[in-house]
Amino acid sequence: MAATDILTANIRSKVFDAAEGGVMHAISNLSFSLKSQTFTCVIGPSGCGKTTTLRILLGLDQQFDGDIRFSSSHIMTAVFQEPRLLPWRTVEQNVRLALSNANTHVELNDLFKELGLDDVRQYYPGELSLGMARRAALARAFAVMPDLLILDEPFVSLDDATAERLRAMLLSLWKSTSCTALMVTHNVEEAAMLADEIIVLSARPATLLNKITLDVPQADRDSAYIQDMTLKLRQAGLVE
């Protein structure tokens, strides 16, 4: 493993029992690495195994053939499609649940301000819009100062304006914390906006089709650059 890699994944095979009998091959010979302090997006056809891959990386699914190696001890957090907030706890209580006992009373004012949550800290999840609930989920993930942040389509089903604001917030927090991020998305423009590298997966069983490096800093990517990168990916037949 190179010194600059925080994670190396080698998933030789992942199968599920099929409802009609037999097995379904979800992943086959998928290998990739993540460089420290980079933002990587994973794209690929629906049902190709993107979320399954994330679950394996998170240790939520250990029934696979292969290995996941980390360069050192690390703190890893995840943000899922659903915010997964406890409805009987306030926003601040939900965020603080992620903290260890030693850090229970850590100062979170800057984090709440960055995510526009200052005025809703004492609200319950049922009082929040979906966009605000997803901000709370991001706050919970960043509160522990992760070394590796895993995101599974965190902005899916949001309107364009809300998703745009949350992408900007995510990018700002990622830059300020210097963590490594890996995000699954179906939105090619989103990947072109956020990623240092894009991992392109094949249809099921998932394998690596391509790994694309974006050499323009995120802050310098305008709409023309994002549209051009998206067009190149589609013309190359790498995305739908």
* pLDDT value for 47: 86
**Alpha carbon separation from 132 to 73, 76, 112, 119 (Å, rounded):** 32, 23, 11, 11
Q: Are the C-beta atoms of 141 and 100 separated by less than 8 Å?
A: no
* Sheet containing 5-17: order of strands: 23-35, 5-17, 65-70
- 12 contacts 66 by C-beta, under 8 angstroms: yes
In the chain, where the domains are located = 1-75+148-157+166-240, 79-145
Would you tell me how many other CB atoms lie within 10 Å of the CB of residue 183? Answer: 25
Pairing of strands 76-79, 148-152: parallel
**pLDDT attached to residue 240:** 65
CA proximity to 126, closest of 94, 157, 160? 94
Q: Name residues of the chain where pLDDT drops below 50.
A: 1-3
pLDDT at site 20: 74
Query: Exposure of 193 by Cβ count < 10 A (0-12 exposed, 13-18 middle, 19+ buried)?
Result: buried
Question: pTM for the full model?
Answer: 0.92
Residue 61: predicted pLDDT: 92
pLDDT recorded at residue 102:
59
Question: What is residue 60's predicted lDDT score, i.e. its pLDDT?
Answer: 93
Q: φ, ψ for residue 85 (rounded to 5)? A: -95, 140
Instruction: Give the distance from CA 173 to its chain's centroid.
Output: 13
Whether 135 and 142 have beta carbons less than 8 Å apart is answered as: no
Give the model confidence (pLDDT) of 148-163 as tens digits.
999 999 999 899 999 9
CATH top-level class of 1-75+148-157+166-240: alpha beta
